[in-house]
Amino acid sequence: MSPLPPRLILLAPMEGVLDHDLRDVLTRVGGIDRCVSEFIRITDQLLPRRVFTRLMPELHHGSRTPAGTPVRAQLLGSDPQCLADNAARLAELGPEGIDLNFGCPAKVVNRHRGGAVLLDEPELVHRIVAAVRRAVPARVPVSAKMRLGHLDDTRMLDNARAIAEAGASELVVHARTKLHGYKPPAYWERIAHIRQAVALPVVANGEVWNVADAERCLQESGCDALMLGRGLVGDPGLALALRGLAQPGWRELLPLVRLYGRLITPRVAPRHRGGRIKQWLNMLRRRHAGAAEAYAAVRELNDAEAIEGRLAQLEQRVQQQAA
């Protein structure tokens, strides 16, 4: 088995799940070296600065979460010049770095020539990365995230080389194709072939839910860095566990669920707020029995205030039991 801890632990972008408020809460737990924002879609226009800061508010604070964890902004699109123009404007706002999305499997994104569908065109992938690299100052890292391919992995190495030769400083590889979606397994051994083909640092991603998964992933991929997504959202102490540090229990996590509910209040409509809280609780059930109890207690509730009240009662009970 590969030795732990990994050299680098990244928090993955997860569209519709891992927004900046959840990044805030998860980085308070600790163990995360860097985050990547949800993708910022670039189509055919130069976005105003306010769009970047709305989607990634950490730009107002030195590209850091309140806990001090760096956040890299991710762009998604297919027009090299438009991406370059927007990257240049984004660079003026001081991001920790700029990441390029060649991995999103969503059908609506792929239909508009974004995400994993671009892996059918390694030449275009190269032009995108090269254009963005030229457009931003040398001090701003440009990285990329890719899957093994679109419908298959026959162009896997072509895409990895295209990204490396275009000047990217780091490559995250989700060890599945778009066609695989999120179905297990992840093909970590395929990442080893990519590592042998390119000189830039490669980060392994996909299907890491616990320490044992991480050990196997690092061994099979040959990587010394990991990007964690659903595994870390469902187990916020996972990064700490990979570092051999104590993990928070449900007693410590339940107040963070309530904090997340308060953080999203100013920007999420009341009718959707309860759904976001339940979404995270549902993912936490995989690791924490207390989360399963909390989810059952609020599952039938739709009013955010009612959910907050029920969680407050549960927190009080948990704290009393621990006293």
All residues at 6 or more sequence positions from 306 whose CB lies less than 8 Å from its CB, including other chains: 274, 298
Strands (E), 109-184: 142-147, 170-174
What letter does residue 139 receive in the DSSP assignment?
T
Best CA proximity match to 180, nearest among 160, 158, 211, 153: 153
Instruction: Give the span between the Cα atoms of 315 and 320, in whole angstroms.
Output: 9
Per this entry, what is the length of the chain? Answer: 323
Instruction: Give the span between the Cα atoms of 171 and 168, in whole angstroms.
Output: 7
Instruction: Give the span between the Cα atoms of 223 and 242, in whole angstroms.
Output: 14
CB half-sphere exposure, 4, CA atoms < 13 A: 20
Best CA proximity match to 208, nearest among 225, 190, 195: 225
Q: Do residues 215 and 4 touch, judged by C-beta distance below 8 A?
A: yes
Please work out, in degrees rounded to the nearest 5, the angle formed at the alpha carbon of residue 290 by the alpha carbons of 34 and 182: 50
Best CA proximity match to 95, nearest among 44, 145, 139: 139
Catalytic residue, chosen from 35, 82, 104, 217, is 104
Instruction: Give the span between the Cα atoms of 255 and 313, in whole angstroms.
Output: 11
Q: Supply 262's token pair.
A: 């308060």
Instruction: Give the span between the Cα atoms of 192 and 185, in whole angstroms.
Output: 16
82 is catalytic: no
Tell me which residues are annotated as active site.
104
